[in-house]
Chains A and B, each alone.
Chain A
Amino acid sequence: MSDVLELPWHEARQQVSPREYRDACLAAIASRDPQLHAFLHVNRDADGDGLPIAIKDNIVTTDMPTTCASRILGEFVSPFDATVIARLRRRGAAVMGKTNLDEFAMGSSTEHSAFGPTRNPWDPNCVAGGSSGGSAAAVAARMVPAALGSETGGSVRQPAALCGVVGVKPTYGRVSRWGLVAFASGLDQIGIVTKTVREAAEVLGVIAGHDEMDSTSSTHPVDDYAADLDAGVRGLRFGVVREAVEQLTGEVRENFDAAIATLRGAGAVVEEASVPTIGYAIAVYYIVANAEASANLSRFDGIRYGRRSPQARTLDEVYSDSRGEGFGAEVKRRIMLGTFALSSGYYDAYYGRAQKVRARLRHDFAQAFAKFDFLITPTTPEPAFPIGAKTDDPLSMYLSDIFTAPANLVGVPAIAVPSGFSKSGLPLSLQITAPHFGERAMFRAAAAYERETEYWRKSPIPT
């Protein structure tokens, strides 16, 4: 029965009834999730005869709690569905549960969840990546065919890479964020995790489009994202970002070189590209994202929703004690850094300067896209790392996003596609970045690479 979970959704639904498929998902969750902890809430009564999908627990739903993996939200249940949830439900999707994340999506390993880490389906001693680690692990472990995550600096692509599945960050503004709990509003975008490129393209077609509840959502027409999946890459131009890959060594380097050879073998033109400021992305990111987070998270005040400190006696203590007790260490660190970067006397030197470097990065990407259809790098600098390896060193954790954060700062779409395995059997991943609103071509390129390699067929679940 669980064999059907190894198939892409569009094949599985030819073989079993929607009810049987949902039951297979629930059975897989019951047997696999106690070890992996991908889910914070499972919806045993999920109905809808369309795609069964899991949702990162920072996207609000009326029929389940939304925790953001934080203590501060307490028993919060949203009075409305996020726009992406409403659109999925309208198309018959079954919302199977809410997935684990780093608290408020701040992290790269899902170890900063207040409810404990998610484990990697390929090696339970390793992290699943983050912050959408629960969504990536749930798809990789064949518990659901698809999941939504959110991206601020790589939080869909990085865990997808570490778990060996497809991860998509659409163009900034492509998908409505109404109902996504805000982290950094100038960067946040809802993303998709699936086993195959086709499934991701189909989900994007459902959730993309303008929404009057999110004024940053674009009126740019929604494309048929699956239209060119079989068109191949003959003659298309891929730029290898020199400044990103020149430091690569070992098996990540070998794997990336093999991916280049595969693309060339399929007829693509692959040449060196240059994005001189790409190495500054993490420094820019940790100022811009944290500055915006410090403002966005001021809404958690112990008054309107969530948990209020029982010891608070004055209004000031309601704020400070509720936040001091309710937020975890990483969230506090980021609020502190962001508050510092915006504070009087430091604004120009930090926030102002970071935004100028970001403008230059955007310019450098535009120059590169004048010569290339796509830019490629590995998705991550290394495969999944052991649980606990980076929790005492925030900076080394931040550097896990070194190849993913640039797309968020620039606003362009990018996809992580499985590119093979390390010698120890952990997944590796190729990242393909496209120009603004270039998702259709991006899916075409990713599907061509996937067809040549078919790494998605390898499953971490023993048969």
Chain B
Amino acid sequence: MKIDREEARRIAGLAHLELDDAALVRMADEMTKILTYIDQLREVDVEGFEEHAESAGTPFREDEPRPSLDRALAERNAPSWNDGFFVVPKVIGGE
């Protein structure tokens, strides 16, 4: 599988990763090499095998209300915080 710079740019956009042109070229090259190795999976006979693994089932607990994370503790790690809220740049009505 060949990945070119434009394909790398499209994937970086999906992944929310800012990469400059030089980084995109290098990334495309490395991804091509790795995916070429991964392409050997095409030769495996997987007839009769399903994509989704069998599972022992999820153990559930009672759905009871309980305290959640204290706001003061959340604030301690937040890069920008005001009056109980995480702050982000204006999304609506900007520019």
Residues of A within 8 A of B (CB): 74-77, 79, 173, 186, 210, 212, 215-216, 218-219, 277, 280, 282-284, 286-287, 294, 298, 301-308, 312-321, 323-325, 327, 332-333, 335-337, 339-340, 343, 350, 352-360, 362-363, 394-395, 398
Contacts and interface: CB of A to CB of B under 8 A. Distances in A.
Given A79-B74, A298-B16, A315 B88 contact: yes
5 contacts: A215-B59, A219-B59, A303-B80, A318-B88, A335-B15
A359 B51 contact: yes
Interface of B: 3, 8, 11-12, 14-19, 27, 30-31, 33-35, 37-38, 40-42, 44-46, 49-53, 56, 58-61, 69-70, 73-74, 76-80, 86, 88-89, 91, 94
B17 to A, nearest CB: 5
A336 B49 contact: no
Nearest to B52: A355
A21 B69 CA distance: 36
Given A286-B38, A336-B27, A359-B51, A308 B79 contact: yes
B16 A319 contact: yes
Contact of B31 (A186, A219, A336, A360): A336
A215 B60 CA distance: 7
Main secondary structure of the interface of B (DSSP, over half): loop
Main secondary structure of the interface of A (DSSP, over half): helix
A394 to B, nearest CB: 6
The winner among A212, A308, A359 for most chain B CB atoms within 10 A is A359
Contact of B14 (A79, A313, A339): A339
Contacts of A219: 59
Contact of A318 (B12, B58, B89): B89
A305 B77 contact: yes
A320 B18 contact: yes
Contacts of A350: 35, 38
A373 to B, nearest CB: 22
Contacts of B37: 282-283, 395
